[in-house]
Amino acid sequence: MITAGKYEGQHPLHPKARQILLDAFDQGWADPAQISAQGRQAQALLANARESIAKSLGLQVSEIELWGEPELISPIAIWGAPGFGSAPFIYSATERSEIIGMRAKSKQAFEISVDINGAVDLEVLAQTLQPNSIVAIQSANIETGVIQNLKVISKAVVAQNAHLHIDASASGARFIKPAYWSTLHFDARSWNGPSGVGVFALKNGARWSNPLPHTKPTRAPNSFSIPLALAAASALEHWIADESANSARLKSLIERVRNHVKQTISDVDIAGNAESTLPNIISLSFLNVSSEQLVAALEVEGFSVASGSACVASALEPSHVLKAMGLLTHGNMRINLNHDVQDGEITKLLALLPGIISKLREN
């Protein structure tokens, strides 16, 4: 299935994850903080879910917390980093808007540019880093799929005794942890889990303090939905199994799209290069094409694609990610492949696309 939007979360839940969700809602659940038998049962279910998620993501259970508002994870992770506000805050030009927005709360904020392939300028990053800096970098970009060189970045960060927050919300379970990190952000939608479940990870031993008023010992308000959390854990397990069976196929399908577009359509910007982008995302910008018309034309043919262009839907500004890369922001379409995408869907899309682009350009 080819999906629109920034997350595979629009994909239906795995049937087993869906059944867990429905059972939990049908049967109700007790407060896991209660000492009753039902409370203890809920606690055990939740503990299993947390263990499963931690194991699946290669983390310790003690390092993770589940959050019911995933988009708040990165801002709060950054806000709670030691010295945030006065310490240098360094982020890349293609970070999610919520992260870039944190510059308003910092007295020293440094935006690191990216090259045309979306790679952070490592030389400038190294020159900008100071002791005790707070660095926020995405592992991969949700719009373009561009993967950052976290191995080099984390080495530079640890050399300065700095704090490294990694936004892994786009990578999800594809995220490869570098040797050094301080906090992480995951979103269950990235593994076809339900929306409304995120994972905040704080490395054991890393310094961080909750910037929100709090009265409980947990870092998060702990107000996430238990059924959704259980479903997220199940979805993650099944996603990992599906990924091992399908990752090579997804990658070859995206390569087919990339190669076919290059060969058959002129004046197109393809975000990132094949070697350092996620295997399931591709962003294409066609010169002299209206994104709105392109999305509509594809919809008529049964394809639901997203766009980073300003004229589409509610976007008032062009994609800051494409802009930062120096790529065309108009005429943009973005596709996200799920594990169950059929080869025939891609064949059909590639057969139609050149003709659609040509027709739209004539108009």
Partner 1 sequence: MPIMELSKKIKESEIGQEVLLISDDPATAADLSAWARMTGNEIKVVSADNFLITKSN
Contact residues toward partner 1 (CB under 8 A) are 267, 269, 285, 287-288, 290, 309-311, 316-318, 322-323, 326-330
* Choice between 241 and 296, CB closer to partner 1: 296
DSSP 8-state symbol, 14:
P
**Residue 1 neighbours by CB distance under 10 Å:** 15
Q: DSSP states of 117-180 as a string?
A: T--B-HHHHHHH--TT-EEEEESB-TTT-BBP-HHHHHHHHHHTT-EEEEE-TTTGGG----S-
* Choice between 106 and 290, CB closer to partner 1: 290
- Least separation, in Å, of the C-beta of 82 and partner 1? 36
Length of the chain: 363
* Choice between 133 and 291, CB closer to partner 1: 291
Longest dimension (CA), the chain: 70
Residue 99 in tokens: 């992260």
**Rounded Cα gap, residues 188 and 271, in angstroms:** 25
* Choice between 104 and 316, CB closer to partner 1: 316
* Choice between 144 and 290, CB closer to partner 1: 290
Axis crossing angle, helix 226-264 with helix 343-362, rounded to the nearest 10 = 60
- Least separation, in Å, of the C-beta of 307 and partner 1? 12
- Least separation, in Å, of the C-beta of 284 and partner 1? 13
Contact 59, 175 (CB under 8 A): no
* Choice between 189 and 330, CB closer to partner 1: 330
**Rounded Cα gap, residues 216 and 96, in angstroms:** 29
- Least separation, in Å, of the C-beta of 104 and partner 1? 20
- Least separation, in Å, of the C-beta of 141 and partner 1? 17
Q: Specify which residues 138 forms β-bridges with.
A: 167
Burial of 363 (0-12, 13-18, 19+ CB in 10 A): exposed
Q: How many angstroms separate the Cα of 156 from the Cα of each of 132, 325, 347? A: 12, 23, 43
- Least separation, in Å, of the C-beta of 206 and partner 1? 37
- Least separation, in Å, of the C-beta of 326 and partner 1? 6
* Choice between 234 and 285, CB closer to partner 1: 285
